Amino acid sequence: MSDTTWTNWAGTAHAAPRVVHRPRSTAEIAHAVSGAAASGGRIRPWGSGHSFSPAAVADDQAIDLSGFTGVTRVDMEAGLVTVRSGTTLRQLNTILDALDLALVNLGDIDAQTISGAIATGTHGTGASFGGLATQVVELELVLADGSVVTCSPVERPELFQAARIGLGALGVISTVTLRCVPGFVLAAQERPEPLDRLLPRLDNEIAGNDHFEFYWFPYGEHVVVKRNNRLPPGTPPQPLGPLREFLEYEILENRAFEALCRLGKAVPGLVRPLGAVTDRMLSTRQYRDRSHRVFVTRRSVPFVESEYAIPRAAVGDVLTELRAVVPLLRDPVSFPVEVRFAAADDIWLSTAHQRDSAYIAVHQYAGMPYREYFAAFEAIMTAAGGRPHWGKMHSLDATALAELYPRFDDFLRLRDQLDPTGVFSNPYTDHVLGPVGGH
């Protein structure tokens, strides 16, 4: 244990807790939690700090899970893998690949810890696939009194439905058991297309591809469309050559793009004309590779982000409104808008709870003004019944969020039962869930 300061990846949240615990076992996590509870303190787990929201801010004590990593159990016949909560998705993908296993779906960033990713509702894209938390079949949790419990669909099922996306408010996840699938290869196609031609056939694209998404560069008329489709078992990978991969992903999509963002930050008047042509600068790419190498994209350009889930049928109208708003903003937007899709699920605080969803995410280069843009975006999304991503930037409070989640009050009652003194609370949970003891 030692004092330290902490900031998240985007620099949007900071903390200077009094004590930081660095456990190497579940017993050490339990000891830290029970100690905090006995002293009347508060404690929050830290993952990799990839949330843009202040979900992980610890104002008293923190549990740094970065040393609590690795796989503890593998059942190859059932496809079940149990992993410690501090393991990053990048580490997990490497382990699964060596076992010829894979997660059925992933987002496009792998820096998050498995516990942080599920706790905030991380998702990928694919009309038939849920978020990462839907792949969880069992959780081990340390509760506020220091006890260690297991939950699953058959053991403490209500806790399981709540804790899979629990914001760290119900307990500290110690291990996660995931249902994996045999390793598979994806055929990837990426190319620019006119947005106005894409929107009329959007339903067919969503249904006709396993994993479909697109990026719209503000001020441009094109989008970069990504279609990833699963190939039959035994199909060999045929990845991009190392030189092309380096040139297109490292040079063009990271270094050159960051240079353009820096130029736009220095000379804002250049952002709009540059944005009008950026979407057509990217070439068409087709390749096939192991699933996690296709799902995940290396991103080194710093940015801030807000994302909302809306009913899938609303995506066309919402994009039309957003396209009308962006040119009216005082400050230009240098980053693309990302649009993805996911299947409905039954997790209490899932942004896809009981509805097939479209996810729209807006970004701005770090250090450039974003508040007017994000506020305009949030107004459009909330009017469409949007639910904000728990790990990204938004302003909604518990009163507003309670209207969006049918099981919100059930979650709060369970939290009050399990953590009546607010050991796991912090300013973020107080804002989005309300203070402990209200139910």
Domain ranges of the chain: 69-182, 185-388
Backbone angles phi, psi at 430, to 5 degrees: -60, -35
Token digits of residue 369: 């003004």
| pLDDT at site 281 | 65
CA angle 298, 304, 306 (to 5 degrees): 105
| pLDDT at site 276 | 74
Share of the chain above pLDDT 70, in %: 98
pLDDT digits (tens, 9 = 90+) for 290-315: 999 999 988 888 899 999 999 999 99
Q: Return the CATH fold of 185-388.
A: Vanillyl-alcohol Oxidase; Chain A, domain 3 (3.40.462)
Report how far apart, in Å, the C-alpha atoms of 76 and of each of 80, 155, 178, 179, 280 are: 7, 22, 12, 10, 45
Packed helices 315-325 and 371-383: angle between N→C axes, nearest 10 degrees: 150
Q: How far, in Å, CA of 189 to CA of 51, rounded?
A: 29
Put simply, whether the predicted model's pTM sits higher than 0.85 gets the answer: yes
| pLDDT at site 1 | 41
At 86, the amino acid letter reads G
| pLDDT at site 2 | 45
Q: Which of 51-65, 242-256, 313-327, 365-379 has the lowest mean pLDDT?
A: 242-256
Q: What is the dihedral of CA 338, 341, 347, 351, to 10 degrees?
A: 40
| pLDDT at site 438 | 66
CATH architecture of structural domain 69-182: 2-Layer Sandwich (3.30)
Q: Exposed, middle or buried by CB within 10 Å (0-12, 13-18, 19+), for 77?
A: exposed
Evaluate if residue 414 carries a pLDDT over 80: yes
Q: What is the dihedral of CA 174, 138, 151, 388, to 10 degrees?
A: 80
Q: Which secondary-structure segment (H or E) carries 379?
A: helix 371-383
What is the rounded average pLDDT of the residues 192-211? 95
Q: Which of 50-59, 242-251, 318-327 has the lowest mean pLDDT?
A: 242-251
Q: How far, in Å, CA of 312 to CA of 360, rounded?
A: 10
69-182 and 185-388 have identical folds: no
Band of pLDDT at residue 280, cut at 50, 70 and 90: low
Report how far apart, in Å, the C-alpha atoms of 141 and of each of 98, 150, 152 are: 28, 6, 11
Name the residue among 356, 370, 349, 391 with its Cα closest to residue 133. 349
DSSP state of 239: P
Q: How far, in Å, CA of 210 to CA of 179, rounded?
A: 19
User: Which are the contacts of 344, defined by CB distance < 8 A and separation ≥ 6?
Assistant: 130, 352, 353, 354, 355, 356, 357
Q: How far, in Å, CA of 433 to CA of 110, rounded?
A: 27
pLDDT digits (tens, 9 = 90+) for 140-181: 999 999 999 999 999 999 999 999 999 999 999 999 999 999
- Sheet containing 357-365: give its strands across: 285-290, 185-194, 222-230, 211-216, 337-342, 357-365, 303-311, 387-388
Q: How many helices (H) and strands (E) does the chain have?
A: 15, 20
Band of pLDDT at residue 3, cut at 50, 70 and 90: low
User: Which are the contacts of 352, defined by CB distance < 8 A and separation ≥ 6?
Assistant: 123, 130, 131, 309, 342, 343, 344, 345
Name the most confidently modeled range: 2-11, 51-60, 70-79, 237-246.
70-79
Q: How far, in Å, CA of 223 to CA of 244, rounded?
A: 22
DSSP state of 115: H
Backbone angles phi, psi at 389, to 5 degrees: -60, 130
